[in-house]
Amino acid sequence: MAPSVASTAVPNWQGSLLGGGRPSLDPDFGGLERIPLDHGAWVDLCHGWLKGPDTLFEVLSTTLPWTAPEMVMYDHSIVQPRLSAWWRPDRDHPWPEGVLPLARALESRYGVPFENFGANLYRDGRDSVAWHGDRLHRDQNRALVAVITLGAPRTFLLRPRGGGPSVRLRPAAGDLLVMGGTCQRTWQHSVPKTARPVGPRISVTLRPHPGTPIPALGRPGSEPRGASFRRTGRPGVVHGSRSPGLSGTSTANSRSHSSGTSSSTAALVEARTTGAATPSR
């Protein structure tokens, strides 16, 4: 089923005061913290990993071949409520400027080449993606999927496959999120709709080729030290230090706070103890 070609116009987008300039990344992944999930899954978060995200947003929003993919549901096709662009690098179709350095930095960190590149554009709060595991990697024992956020923050949820309490993340422009271990096989993720006014968001997605062997931790010795999250004993629930302005059911973790939990990561993570969030959040 051929996707329809979409307009490259991105409405109602304004960059931040600090998001411009030439894109550059932190090669040391400073402040990266790992959130352990159940069944051998984990998520790495690195706040502000990419500087100049608004510049890259402008490049990708105006140059990528955006399409509106269709999917079959109940014997009829519907257009997915987001735009997408995907391809592999080759001589005839090189990656857009600014993307290849991201892939090379991830390869240096995790020890495997990130050779598949794609992007999704959420134009406003009506765009979303339902619960799913990465289609290319959900049958692998272990996989790596890196997501760099450009533009407006959107809620990013994870839950155990089959249902259960969800973990809520809210990555901002320039933040890096890496799903690793068995995350694509044993967990699902989604970006829910929201009735709140939100600007457009691009998620840059980088991953190794399907079938690439992935070490248990992404790379021997790559697990961040000083992990600042602890398990609650309930499947799929992670608690972090509570940050001013957070709503929901997070509880304070004084041990994590005293051991150097970054406020940026605490602000990104909100544990939920009452099941999956409704799409209107």
In a domain, 62, yes or no: yes
In a domain, 2, yes or no: no
Count of Cβ atoms closer than 10 Å to residue 92 Cβ: 5
**How much is the average pLDDT of 195-205?**
96
Phi then psi for 186, rounded to 5 degrees? -110, -10
- Check residue 102 and give its pLDDT: 98
Number of domains in the chain: 1
**How much is the average pLDDT of 273-279?**
33
Containing domain of residue 178, as a range?
A: 32-70+78-218+235-271
Distance linking the first and last C-alpha atoms of the chain: 31
**Sequence letter at residue 266:** A
95 touches 63 (CB < 8 A): no
In a domain, 179, yes or no: yes
In a domain, 5, yes or no: no
CB-count burial class (<10 Å; 0-12, 13-18, 19+) for 50: buried
The residues near 262 (Cβ < 8 Å, ≥ 6 apart) are 31, 33, 47, 228
Q: Which of 14, 43, 244 is nearest to 158 (CA)?
A: 43
In a domain, 162, yes or no: yes
The residues near 245 (Cβ < 8 Å, ≥ 6 apart) are 267
Greater confidence (6 vs 168) lies with 168
- Tokens 């304070």, located at residue: 252
In a domain, 240, yes or no: yes
Q: Label the pairing between strands 156-160 and 187-191.
A: antiparallel
Q: What is the pLDDT of residues 11-70, one digit of tens each?
A: 566 667 667 789 999 999 999 999 999 999 999 999 999 999 999 999 999 999 999 987
Greater confidence (251 vs 63) lies with 63
- Check residue 17 and give its pLDDT: 62
- What is the DSSP track for 114-162? --EEEEEEE-STT--EEEE--TTTTTSSS--EEEEEEES---EEEEETT
Greater confidence (9 vs 272) lies with 9
Q: Give the tokens for residue 218.
A: 């992404």
In a domain, 191, yes or no: yes
Q: Give the tokens for residue 92.
A: 């005839």
CB-count burial class (<10 Å; 0-12, 13-18, 19+) for 184: buried
- Check residue 74 and give its pLDDT: 66
Alpha-carbon dihedral sign for residues 211, 50, 147, 229? positive
- Check residue 132 and give its pLDDT: 87
In a domain, 276, yes or no: no
d(CA 39, CA 170) in angstroms, rounded, equals: 23
d(CA 166, CA 191) in angstroms, rounded, equals: 12
Q: Which of 232, 234, 102, 127 is nearest to 178 (CA)?
A: 102
Q: What is the CATH number of the domain that holds 52?
A: 2.60.120.590
208 touches 113 (CB < 8 A): yes
Q: What is the pLDDT of residues 110-150, one digit of tens each?
A: 999 999 999 999 999 999 998 888 776 667 889 999 999 99
